[in-house]
Structure formats: C-alpha cells, structure tokens
Amino acid sequence: MSFFVGNQMTAGYGQGPDIISSCSIKVNRGEIVAILGPNGAGKSTAMKAMLGLLKLKSGSVILNGEDISKLSPQDRVKKGISFVPQTKNVFAELTVKENLEVGAFLREDNINNIIDEIYELFPILKEKSSQIVGQLSGGQRQQVALGRALMIKPSVLMLDEPTAGVSPIVMDELFQHILRVKKTNVGIIMVEQNAKQALSISDRGYVLVTGENKFEGSGVELLKDPEVRRSFLGG
C-alpha cells in the first residue's frame, strides 16, 4: 500500500452537489505526484479532503497504514502532513526567520538545527533571514512558505498551486526547489495549472475531470498520452 492515500473519496461543500466522486490519490515518500485538470475539476477539493478541511461523505484517508479519516486537520498536521495554500501562506509582516519559527509551533525540541537545514535547502532564506517577508519577491515568498511548511519535518507535503502568479523563470526555480525537497524523502502532492512543467518533474500524475479520476500514470506516460496532450496540454 502507498504511504498516503485518499481512497475512493466523495465530498462536497455543505448541502451542495458532490465536487469529487470516488476520487483516489496516492503518494509514497520521496515521490512527487501532480493533480491536474481543468478549472472546477475538484483538484483543490481532493487535497482539502485529504487534509481534513472537508468532511468525506464516503471513502477514507490512510497515512502509513493508519486510517486518519476522522482526525481534525490539526491532528493530521501532528501526524506529519504539511500544507502550503495558494494564498496567505506567509506572515508578510514578520521576518523570514520568524516565519520559520512560527512553522515550528508543534515542535518542542531545539529548532535551530531544523532552521539550518531549511537554509541549506533554500540558501536565499539564509541571506534574507532578517528581512520582512512582505518585501521579498513572489518567488522568494514561496520559498519562505515551503520552508515554513518543512519546519515540522513532515512526511507528506501538500502544495496548492505553488507556482501561481510567478514568471516562467521563477516557476522553473520553484520546481527545482520542490525536487530538492523530494530528495529529503518527503512525499509531495501538488495541484498545478502548469501541467506540462508539473508532469516533467512528477513521478506520477492524476488528471481529474468533474471530480473523478480520468487519467493516471507516470509523468512521462501522461505527457505522451495523445488524449491528455490534446485535452489538457495544448496539443
């Protein structure tokens, strides 16, 4: 069984219709999995369901063999699941180092060693450690968000549109950072609009359509699939 699994998940908002239906997402440690699909396909909803921000109508969420479907989002974080939302993912009025310290709120040990590890992963954060985050570029702020999420030493990192709103050059840089995080044996699930680029760094991918699994396979397989290329990759 995979390390982290959203299995046959069905969920929606309030009394509204189901947004995801029998949707399954799996990731192992040291693996990048991309969730792709058109707007409204249920990509972020699937991620929220796995994080516990949305109650499942049916299905389950399994972490390392344990059913965590009934746990709160906070308790899932304590189990080692970290999440970087698309917006409001940093404290703009705090310094880089203060943001990292806030990210370690669950830790009771000395966090300086972990901060040093984050600085190794993201050298610019060490250089800018005392700078107010609101003064940083968009790409640098995303590195702060990634670093803050890694302060709990997660086994799973969930990223919602990590490259939204940044230039192509910055997007390539962020994807390189995500690859470096992968090498620390973290399982990474990311929702991404930049499908071609996301699949190029992903071990596996899922394409959702109207809340259901439409295609899945390795990043290479999906990039080569004629129907996926025609429908979702622009040719």
> What torsion do the CA atoms of 186, 189, 194, 199 make, to the nearest 10 degrees?
70
The predicted pLDDT at position 235 comes to: 55
* Predicted structure pTM score: 0.92
pLDDT in tens, 33-88: 999 999 889 999 999 999 999 999 999 999 999 999 999 999 999 999 999 988 88
**Mean pLDDT, all residues of the chain:** 93
Residues 146-191 pLDDT 10s? 999 999 999 999 999 998 888 889 899 999 999 999 999 999 999 9
| E-only strand ranges, the chain | 4-12, 18-27, 32-36, 58-63, 66-67, 81-84, 156-160, 187-191, 204-209, 212-218
The answer to whether the Cα torsion of 59, 65, 68, 73 is positive or negative is: negative
> Contact 202/196 with Cβ under 8 angstroms?
no
For residue range 9-18, list pLDDT tens digits in order: 999 998 889 9
Q: Where are the domains of the chain?
A: 1-80+155-161+187-235
Residue type, position 211, single letter: G
- 35-39, 108-112, 120-124: least confidently modelled range: 108-112
Q: Give φ, ψ of 96 to 5 degrees.
A: -55, -50
Helix (H) or strand (E) holding 97: helix 96-103
CATH of the structural domain 1-80+155-161+187-235, one choice from 2.70.98.60, 3.90.1150.10, 3.40.50.300, 3.30.70.1230: 3.40.50.300
pLDDT of residue 105: 78
- What confidence score (pLDDT) does residue 233 get? 79
